[in-house]
A and B are shown apart, each in its own frame.
Chain A
Amino acid sequence: MNRLAWKTWMGVAAATLALASGMAQAQPKELTFWTFLATQGTDPRSKALTSIVEGFNKSQTKYVVKVESINFARIDNVVIQSTAAGQGPDILNVYTDQLPMHVAAKTVQPLDAYFAKLPPAAQKDFVMDLDFVRYDGKLMALPWETRVWLLWYRKDLLDKAGAGVPKTTDELAQVAAKISSEQVMGFGFGASTGALGAGAMEAFVPLFWGAGGQLFNAKGDTTINSDAGVRTLAYFRDMVAKSKGMRSSVAAMSVEDAMTAVKAGTIGMTLMGSFRVAAARNAAATGANLQTAPVPGWATDKPSPARIGGQTLTIGANSKEPEGGWAFIQYYESPASQLEFAKAGVMPSRVSTYEDKFFKDDASAKDMQQWTDYAKKYGRMEKTPKDFSKLSEEIAKAIQKVIVEGADPKAALDEAAKAYNSQRS
């Protein structure tokens, strides 16, 4: 081979290498996003999620986000286990109640450095007080969804019984008894320890707060065994034993079972989160029969406080592409994406989204406006500890003991508080 041919071959090889390396550079970096939302199924949020992720992937060429959907009751454990093994995601969805657990397990990165680059107006554009997602002064996540706990009722059942929407706990017990029949349980909720005791917590907390209770004292010990707790549990007990508006079978129901029963019209009223309304209304037998109202209060002058929480996005501790993760979070929480989620029944986390004409013109947005008003006027947030799900389970067990075994509410709550507080120390 002469020198010219040799040089030609070398040139071709160098050009090929350069081209290959250029192509490699042009390949977008894959970011993994773990969420509890399914990418399939009938939940309107799933379709919004898919559309938003596709939108992000098309909007730029540097990153491509791949969604992994993990069951809502397992995702936190899977994230903690995977992150410990260096296999955690780039971006993860965390529910506000579970965020302290992730902070303690070091599965998430602070977002302050990125957040500081946002314009001041954008920094203030969140419905939720961001102190709620700050730990040790560091911003650990950004909310993309706001949720509030409400009274769900089946309008068809209330209309049939000629009952109005209950505004007080006394009225709730009366209406529950009135609409109860062999087929229908007037009021019910998931009081089992399934799904981390979520159903019990969702029903207990607003009424407990309404009765003047506070979940934790300054030391972080739970105070659920206060007078407010006893009053709430005695109320559940009386609903089963005296007014007969609820059955003790709720002890075996999870929050999903309760939702299924409301959809079927076999539970007339329940206390459940706003985030499930759209999915429940999707069921053929539900539709507009499912309506919501503020959680009844103990007195006539005001409802019980609206418990507020929400889903957040954050960057995983194992992420090697935090800039990409932040780019995705910004896109996910952009006004356009928030509007897309709002149309799927999700209460937006950005104040500016509510100014869109969708909230003025669309009938489906009226509920969200009502929820927002309730949240603004009576909303309450209480920072939860890292072992909050343990407390949820203890509350579920206390409710079960009272309504199934006829235990004394004070004794059951004392036992629950002792079980929770002793494992903390």
Chain B
Amino acid sequence: MIALTLLACLFAAGPVIWGLLTSFKTPTQVVSYPPQLWPSPTTVENFAGVWRESNFPVFFRNSVVVTLASVVLCLALAVHAAYGLARFTFRGKTLLMLGILATSMIPGIAILVPLYNLSVQVKLYNTLTGMVLVYTAWNIPLVVWLLKGFFEKVPLELEEAARMDGCGRYKCFYLIVLPLARPGMLAAAIMAMMAVWNDFLIGFTLAVSEQKRLLPFGLYTYISNVGVDWGQLMAATVLALLPVLFAFLIMQKWLVQGLMAGAVKA
């Protein structure tokens, strides 16, 4: 079993490790045959080139801005929707929940053209704001469903006790329920963050200017008609992986909780 696990890990991590090692190779080592696994001598020129001689810092900044803004906006909207769905009973609730879920089942590529046309018409094409709005809308169904499970796990008695002590509905939600659902919010945040950070299609469709490109689209610029700059491409990929990797390492406990939420519910 351990051997199988190791094999699976190697299978998954192999390309990442190869990319990491390539980022420290000189151009000659990158294209040498037979392939050279370990960089010798190692170089950080690829990282220096990426940071100093390309638009990588611009792409990186744009990705940070769009990811943070869309995650915050998404959470701000989704917590209210999720709480409503978790706590209230109303006609058409199941249908509404299924409707929200159904929107997340539409493949992104199917709505690219309408999204593009819409963004042009409302003057949000080639703007970070446009991308923030689309990513927010795109992530809301997943986050709502995830948080609904968390809110359902918050004991109703706590809210009732607070209300008996004179706490209003909103105050009760913000001061009692939300802090208790923090692990769920963090899990939802990291899932939304990964979805936005790694997305290529939306960013590619809604921005053309180099000053508005996000990282995944930016990585594409290392592929040109005079070849692929593998060293710099891998260095840029490694740098692009770091934020999401750190976020994952820090918040993985809550991510697992988030994914498990509802799974063991009676």
Contact = CB atoms under 8 A, between A and B. Distances in A.
Contacts of B220: 71
Interface in A176-191: 183-184
Contact of B223 (A71, A78, A87, A285): A71
Interface stretch (B31-39, B83-91, B128-136, B150-158): B31-39
Contact of A68 (B34, B210, B224): B210
A71 B221 contact: yes
Given A85-B120, A86-B120, A68 B27 contact: no
Contacts of A260: 31, 227-228, 230
Interface string A1-42: 000000000000000000000000000000000101011111
Contact of B210 (A39, A82, A86, A257): A39
Interface residue tally of chain A, by bracket?
Answer: 35 or more
B112 to A, nearest CB: 10
B53 A40 contact: yes
B31 A263 contact: yes
B3 to A, nearest CB: 31
A376 B63 CA distance: 50
A81 B225 CA distance: 21
B5 interface: no
A64 to B, nearest CB: 15
Contacts of A259: 226-227
A69 B54 CA distance: 12
A114 interface: no
Contact of B116 (A41, A69, A85): A85
B125 interface: yes
Contact of B228 (A39, A183, A256): A256
Nearest to A265: B33
Given A82-B208, A85-B117, A183 B227 contact: no
Contact of A284 (B26, B210, B221): B26
B40 interface: no
A264 B33 contact: yes
Interface string B104-135: 00000000000011001000011000000000
Contact of B225 (A72, A78, A257, A284): A72
A266 interface: yes
Contacts of B28: 264, 283-285
Interface in A36-95: 36, 38-43, 68-73, 78, 81-82, 85-87
A246 B161 CA distance: 80
A103 interface: no
A72 B224 contact: yes
A161 B23 CA distance: 34
Nearest to B228: A256
Contacts of B116: 81, 85
Contacts of A255: 225
Interface residues of B, number: 30
B54 A285 contact: no
A60 B209 CA distance: 24
A78 B116 CA distance: 12
Contacts of B160: none
Nearest to B28: A285
A411 B105 CA distance: 43
A308 interface: no
Contacts of A38: 221, 224
A164 B220 CA distance: 39
B33 A283 contact: no
A78 to B, nearest CB: 6
A276 interface: yes
Nearest to B119: A85
A236 B171 CA distance: 76
A235 B65 CA distance: 55
A129 to B, nearest CB: 24
Contacts of A163: none
A240 interface: no
A279 B226 contact: yes
Contacts of A195: 225
A36 B33 contact: no
Residue picked from B27, B54, B125, B225, most chain A C-beta under 10 Å = B225
Interface string B134-149: 0000000000000000
Contacts of A203: none
A261 interface: yes
Interface string B212-233: 0000000011111111111010
Interface in A219-267: 255-257, 259-261, 263-266
8 A-B pairs closest in CB distance: A264-B31, A279-B226, A72-B225, A266-B33, A85-B120, A285-B28, A259-B227, A40-B54
Given A266-B31, A284-B26, 13 more contacts: A34-B208, A38-B221, A40-B221, A41-B229, A70-B208, A71-B221, A71-B223, A85-B120, A87-B125, A183-B34, A256-B224, A265-B33, A285-B28
15 contacts: A38-B224, A39-B210, A40-B221, A69-B221, A71-B221, A183-B33, A195-B225, A256-B223, A256-B224, A256-B226, A260-B227, A261-B31, A263-B227, A276-B227, A285-B32
